[in-house]
Amino acid sequence: MSDPTNAPNPEPRTKPTHMPLEWDTPMYRLAVDQLDQTAELMNLDPNIWERLRTPQRAHVVSFPFRRDDYKTVETVFAYRVQHLLTMGPTKGGIRYDEGVNLGEVTALAMWMSWKCAIMGLPFGGAKGGVRIDPHTLSSDELQRLTRRYTSEIIEIIGPDRDIPAPDLGTDERVMAWIMDTYSQQKGYAVPGVVTGKPIEIGGSHGRREATGRGVISCAKEACHSMDFSLDGASVVVQGFGAVGRIAAQLASTLGAKIIAVSSVSGGTYNPKGLDIDAVSAWLEQNGDKLKDFPGGDFVTNQELLELPCDILIPAAIQNQITENNAAALRCKMMVEGANGPTTLEADAILADRGILVVPDILANAGGVTVSYFEWVQGAQQFFWSEEEVNRKLIDLMQSAYHSVEHLAKEKGVTLRTAALMRGIGRIKQAKHVRGVFP
Ligand code: NAD
């Protein structure tokens, strides 16, 4: 690789022109546009810039999936993308969603690379996805689907190779089935092949709450920078799953007033504050329907994003804050629990309006950080207490937040650009010292 300080007129050479790349979708373009903007500001070595724009490995599979009636056999599409193999094994979640495609998984794998580098974790980014709506599956169907998907990607995953974790639509149960399927093929138990697994088979204390805890840890630091306290702040959370529910619970414990939360079918709003335990209990009893929740008024997901509040936490899916609604947001800051919730255009509008955005690659990095702790504990067969895990997580989140904030001030850029600079900068250094084979 050439010396980045001497790089003339940096410009990547693989801009998709006449032949679109297989993964070229809007979400992939968002990830690449973020990289391009940052690379230009950093005067990044064009050789490294070009390498980072595409994934190193992209595995596409289709497989037969038998429904419970034992008659219907569907063909299911699934993916595992490894963006960067420079830093160590690759790491990233697996999502089950009917809209998943190669471009989405590739973008998510890129973001994982930056995220791991920002946190100083010895991983490159990866992501997996199965194109199916998991909410239509019975538990048996979910298990069969998971075991077959694992078999299809078995050659490219492993504790020293690529380590999946939960994401949208997947959970501890799914991780246990992946671990079991992988272990059956190897002939011995291999807990290190996944993280986010149940405690009984080598999971870590605090992993379930880690992403939400990281989000709230960042929110707390950001409040401090903006001279107000999380205690007493009004908070709106979109998405009430693994990330959003915990973020809402923890913020509420710290004295914040959660005024609205939502799931896929809409949300509930109470300007006086919601009882988060009551919302959880309601969802458990009534399925994914907040419409009739007695403690609040119904709001659509779109209305929820535009409610007046101190802190908005998008924690559902990508592409929620766009040029169509960014001007209508009425929060002081936004802390991104979800991956890719904000488009490039919306980002610029929010920056112009002085709304602080704590970007996904920093704010939701708590999950992969405790996944790293889980991997380390498994390798050592020495397990930590929940307090120890939480303390180490908060230490790392705070120091990452401050390092990114410091860089943002120094360079006069947004937190997102600074976070990208930090992550990409560390990867650049690693690529330089490793060189090019052969
Ligand atoms: P989850 O499946 O546990 O929960 C998702 C929540 O979002 C649910 O409440 C669901 O009803 C809601 N939702 C789904 N589609 C929606 C839509 N169209 N509009 C509004 N709400 C919708 O998923 P999760 O693990 O909490 O992941 C949420 C986001 O956080 C994703 O972007 C994921 O990539 C990101 N993330 C998750 C982790 C993790 O550890 N689970 C780590 C980092 C980032």
Tens-digit pLDDT profile for residues 104-144: 999 999 999 999 999 999 999 999 999 999 999 999 999 99
Cβ contact 361:426 at 8 Å: no
* Res 2: pLDDT: 45
392 is catalytic: no
* Banded pLDDT at 10 (limits 50, 70, 90): low
Residue whose CA is at the smallest distance from ligand 1 atom 40? 367
Tokens of 208: 């379930």
* Res 1: pLDDT: 46
Determine the distance separating the centroid of ligand 1 and the alpha carbon of 104, expressed in angstroms: 14
Which among 127, 197, 257, 428 is annotated as catalytic?
127
Q: Which atom of ligand 1 is nearest to the CA of 196?
A: 40
Strands of 20-137 (E only): list them: 57-66, 73-82, 90-97, 124-131
Q: What whole-number distance in Å separates Cα of residue 268 and Cα of residue 293?
A: 7
Cβ contact 330:303 at 8 Å: no
Determine the distance separating the centroid of ligand 1 and the alpha carbon of 391, expressed in angstroms: 25
Q: What is the pLDDT of residues 251-299, one digit of tens each?
A: 999 999 999 999 999 999 999 999 999 999 999 999 888 999 999 999 9
342 lines ligand 1 (CB under 6 A): no
Average pLDDT over residues 34-55: 96
Cβ contact 278:305 at 8 Å: no
Instruction: Please state, rounded to an integer, the average pLDDT across all residues of the chain.
Output: 95
* Banded pLDDT at 334 (limits 50, 70, 90): very high
* Banded pLDDT at 244 (limits 50, 70, 90): very high
